[in-house]
């Protein structure tokens, strides 16, 4: 069974640009959640999608957005990039997310974004 796939793995952008990151969950998983990891702030929850609906959102500005498609694949978008957006963005999938099951999360290897 294929794991969680994130693309691209590495990317470099400049301030003011926007970026779209993609996440393909494990087959059969309906929940996809996104996390930002930085040395200063650690791992922070961005949002969770379940069956194409955003079910929960972290404390990030509106520049951070996401969506989920009918095949459960998810994208997140960051507009008007700032230097502080440089981070490893991790995606995780689970069968039911936090509403049922064990809540176990399966993580991708991440997309490392550098903003210059």
Partner 1 sequence: AQSVTQLDSHVSVSEGTPVLLRCNYSSSYSPSLFWYVQHPNKGLQLLLKYTSAATLVKGINGFEAEFKKSETSFHLTKPSAHMSDAAEYFCVVVPVGGYQKVTFGTGTKLQVIP
Residues that bind partner 1 (CB under 8 A): 4, 33, 35, 42-45, 48, 55-56, 58, 88, 90, 92, 98-110, 112
Nearest to 89 by CA among 47, 29, 61: 47
Beta bridge partners of 75: 22, 67
- CB closer to partner 1, 8 vs 16: 8
Closest approach of partner 1 to the CB of residue 94, in Å: 9
**Residues ≥6 apart with Cβ < 8 Å to 100:** none
**Nearest distance from C-beta of residue 90 to partner 1, angstroms:** 6
């Amino acid at each position: 069974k294929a794991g969680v796939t994130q693309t691209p793995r590495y990317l470099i952008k400049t301030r003011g640009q926007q970026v779209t990151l993609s996440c393909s969950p494990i087959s059969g998983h309906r929940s996809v959640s996104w996390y930002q990891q930085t040395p200063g702030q650690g791992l922070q929850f961005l949002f969770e999608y379940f069956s194409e609906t955003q079910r929960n959102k972290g404390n990030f500005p509106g520049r951070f957005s996401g969506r989920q498609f009918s095949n459960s694949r998810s994208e997140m978008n960051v507009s008007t990039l700032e230097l502080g957006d440089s981070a490893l963005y991790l995606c995780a999938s689970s069968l039911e997310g936090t509403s049922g099951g064990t809540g176990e999360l399966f993580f991708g290897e991440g997309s490392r974004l550098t903003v210059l």
